[in-house]
Structure 1
Amino acid sequence: MSAKLEAIGLAKSYGETVALQPTDLTVQAGEFLTLLGPSGSGKTTLLQMISGLVAPTSGRIEIDGRDVTHVEPGRRGIGMVFQSYALFPHMSVWDNVAYGLRMRRKKPAEVRSAVDDALNMVRMSEYAQRFPKELSGGQQQRIALARCFAYRPSVILLDEPLGALDKKLREHMQSEIRRLHKELGATFVYVTHDQDEALTLSDRICLMNQARIEQVGTPVDLYDRPATRFAAGFIGHSNLLEGALADTRGPGGEAILLAAGGRVPLPQPVAAGAGATHCLLVRPEAPRLVEPKSGFVDGKISDIVFFGSDTRVQLTMLDGSRLTVRCARGQSASVGDTVGLVWDPHRTMLLRA
């Protein structure tokens, strides 16, 4: 794959406030890259600089190897979809979709063909003569997407486009966006603070924190191999076991972490000597419940929460820390029971700060 979009040393400050630290990021042609992070992490600032709506303080932006840092937004070959839809209320659906093409002075026959194709792509052809106020939120979002897709930009930026929709409609639109991405073959850069949305949609995720990139990788990379404690805590549910290394090793020669009131085998060799403090990530689906004193750690079940396809068992460990375990439906433990936990050490991950 070739690089479609590159941010090179891109940074933005407002006086003493740093909105984005110097950042390097490459997006491949045809890729679906999601900028994920909490409010204030810099993701929207990065997207706005790529679009040309905000000028960088330093650094540059390249599209297809061409420096577009100081090129006006309309000449970058970029499409933009906003959370607010930004539809013209006095125009029909058809005219809303045609607007960008007309502004680009396309011939009437080209406009008709492109608008009809775009409406068909988002399955809204039968609504062409309606007005935005006559559409549901999900339908308005489809029209916003169609307006962007109509002139076939090679890079499409989406700024939390599903943020105003309810959960069921969000899930439906996620499927639609994945389908449209595959049909168009365009490069998508998508902003969200919703981790589930990022995991569902993305080829790669760029996780941001405190105005910088924390980690870039596939959804599997970020979930199974988070690079930092922040990444582990932001992506999925995390059990973080903190403790010191034991001065003895396990039966297989593995290092042992004294954590949660037990002896926990580590998944990889550890160079530091006994007493060094480490943090181990154990995802809720990794442990299984066993008899007390027959696992790595023991805990008392404090709550069991039903989630439909599974249950989440919450435990208070011997040292007072709390862990969550995801169990299949029908597990026999009850609130108040003391149980042991055991897991495959290779399904856990040592974290850096």
Structure 2
Amino acid sequence: MSSKLEAIGIAKRYGDSVALEPTDLAVQVGEFLTLLGPSGSGKTTLLQMISGLVAPSAGRIEIDGRDVTHVEPGKRGIGMVFQSYALFPHMSVWDNVAYGLRMRRKSREEVRAAVDDALAMVRMTDYAKRFPKELSGGQQQRIALARCFAYRPSVILLDEPLGALDKKLREHMQAEIRRLHKELGATFVYVTHDQDEALTLSDRICLMNQARIEQVGTPADLYDRPATRFAAGFIGHSNLLEGELDDTRGAGGEPILLAAGGRIPLPMSASVTPAMRHTLLVRPEAPRLVEPQSGFVDGTIADVVFFGSDTRVQLSMNDGSELTVRCERSLSPRVGDKVGLMWDPYRTTLLHA
């Protein structure tokens, strides 16, 4: 698959402040790539340099192999959707969607066909004559998307477009954006700080931290095989068990980690260094509750929280550390119960950074 968009050594400084370290990133044709990270990680800066709204201090941006680093935003063939919607309050929905096409001097027939098609795509045809103040937040977001989609850009940048919506509406709009991405076949670059949103929408996620890229991979890669401690902690809920290797190995020759007051077998493929302390990532859905002293570690149930689809159990381990487990609703754990925990070692990840 060929690259649609490439950032090559792109960097941004404001005086002595580094907004983005020199960065390389390739986005494939038709891909949905999400820039994910906390505030100040550099994700919005990178998006703004791709769009042309911010000039880089170093490096270059290429689209379809063409250097567009110094090309003005309106001539890059890029569509942009903002969190603020940026609709014109004095224009009808139809005219808001038509605005960009008119600025590109499309014919009246081309404008009419493109606007009607874009409104149908976001299921807002019946609202064409209304004004933004007459629309809900979700409807305004649909119009902002339609305005961007109307002239069919091959690259669409979305800067936290769902940030102002409530949880239920956000989830609905996520499904709509996934549908629209498939229909358009365009390359999407999406900025968010919401990990659930990134996992839901993305073909790949570019996780950013402290003005640089931490890890790039599929949602499953980042969730199941985080490369660093930061990645493990930022994506999903993490149980991080710290300990040292035992001098002896398990019955099957597997390395044993002494952590959380127990003896924890590691995958045979785990790369271990005997002299080092190690950190093991155990996701909450991996362990199962067993009888005390029949698992890898033992603990006491400190709290039980009902989440609808499952139950979250907070455990105080024998060494004083804490660990969270997701249980099926059919189980009835009680605060104060002594339990053991066991899991498949291959559902864990040994972190090295």
The alignment's TM-score, normalised by the length of structure 1, stands at 0.99
User: Counterparts of 1:323 and 1:306 in 2: how far apart (Å)?
Assistant: 16
Deviations 1:203-235 (A, max 9, x none): 000000000000000000000000000000000
- Counterpart of 1:87 in structure 2 is 87
- Give secondary structure in 1 for the equivalent of 2:249: coil
The answer to whether 1:254 aligns with 2:233 is no
Q: Which residue type is aligned with residue 53 of structure 2?
A: L
CA RMSD of aligned residues (A): 0.7
Q: Single out whichever of 290-299 and 275-284 deviates more from structure 2.
A: 275-284
Deviation at 1:271, TM superposition (A): 4.3
- Other-structure match for 2:53: 53
Distance 1:316 1:13 in 2: 45
Contact 2:270 2:350 in 1 (8 A): no
Residue 108 of structure 2 is matched in structure 1 by 108
Secondary structure at 1:336's aligned position in 2?
Answer: coil
Separation of aligned partners in 1, 2:145 and 2:67? 27
The aligned residue for residue 122 of structure 2 is: 122
Alignment of 1:248-327 (within 5 A): 248-267=248-267, 268-273=269-274, 275-327=275-327
Q: Deviations over 1:226-272 (max 9, x none)?
A: 00000000000000000011111111111111100000111134442
Deviating more after overlay: 198-207 vs 328-337: 328-337
- Give identity over the alignment, percent: 85
1:335, distance to aligned residue in structure 2 (A): 0.4
Deviations 1:78-111 (A, max 9, x none): 0000000000000000000000000001111100
* Contact residue 89 and residue 131 of structure 2 kept, 8 A: yes
Counterpart of 1:336, as a letter, is G
SS at match of 1:179: helix
2:163 aligned partner: 163
Deviations 1:51-96 (A, max 9, x none): 0000000000000000000000000000000000000000000000
With over 3 angstroms needed to count, the CA separation of the structure-2 counterparts of 1:137 and 1:57, relative to structure 1, is: same
Contact residue 255 and residue 270 of structure 1 kept, 8 A: no
Work out whether residues 121 and 180 of structure 2, in 8 Å CA contact, stay in contact via their aligned partners in 1: yes
Cα offset, 1:319, TM superposition: 1.0
Secondary structure of the residue aligned to 1:120 is helix
Q: Tell me, which stretches of 5 or more residues in structure 1 are unaligned? A: none
The one-letter code sitting in structure 2 at the alignment partner of 1:17 is S
How far apart, CA to CA, are the structure 2 residues paired with 1:269 and 1:307? 33
Against the structure 1 CA distance between its residues 271 and 145, is the aligned structure 2 distance closer, same or farther, given a 3 Å change threshold?
closer
1:126-275 alignment to 2 at 5 Å? 126-267=126-267, 268-273=269-274, 275=275
Q: Does residue 338 of structure 1 match 2:309?
A: no
- The Cα shift of 1:276 comes to 2.5
The runs of 5 or more residues in structure 2 that have no matched partner are none
**Runs ≥4 residues deviating over 3 A:** none
Contact 1:33–1:206 (CA<8 Å) still a contact in 2?
A: yes
Question: Which whole-Å deviations, capped at 9, do the CAs of 1:282-322 have from their partners, x for residues lacking one?
Answer: 00000000000110000100001100010000001011110
Cα deviation, residue 352, structure 1: 1.6
In structure 2, distance between residues paired with 1:321 and 1:11: 41
Provide the C-alpha distance between the structure 2 equivalents of 1:145 and 1:88, rounded to a whole number of angstroms: 14
User: Contact 2:290–2:341 (CA<8 Å) still a contact in 1?
Assistant: yes
- Cα distance in 2 for partners of 1:38, 1:215 equals 14
Aligned length: 352
